Amino acid sequence: RNLVTAKTSGPRGGERFRVVTYNILAEIYATQQQYPYCDFWALSWDYRFQNIMREIIDACPDVICMQEVQADHYETHLYNALSEAGFE
């Protein structure tokens, strides 16, 4: 993905930080009925989880925002993976 960098208009030298945000599509909504044009394998949580984590790690964000996070996936997958990657 291309990262978007804000252009500053004031004096340089201030603190900088990177924010990423993802709508990760809760598995309960990732159905062939809802997304008939999408290949079945691309809707699987395991496939999407690996790609989400790769993108987050590659972006090296200071702040991560996620929408549509399924509670059990946060507890069983995301929390541990993000912790292991050094995020708090």
What confidence score (pLDDT) does residue 16 get? 83
**What is the spatial distance between Cα 24 and Cα 53, in angstroms, rounded to a whole number?**
11
Structure-model confidence comparison of residues 55 and 13, the more confident one: 55
Q: Which two tokens stand for residue 40?
A: 């079945």
CA 39 to chain centre: 20
Q: Which two tokens stand for residue 55?
A: 């993108």
pTM of the model: 0.79
What does the DSSP 8-state code read for residue 6?
A: P
Q: What totals of helices (H) and strands (E) does the chain contain, helices first?
A: 4, 2
Alpha-helical (H) ranges within the chain are: 40-43, 45-59, 71-73, 79-84
Q: Which two tokens stand for residue 77?
A: 């997958």
Mean pLDDT across the chain: 89
Mean per-residue pLDDT, 49-61: 95
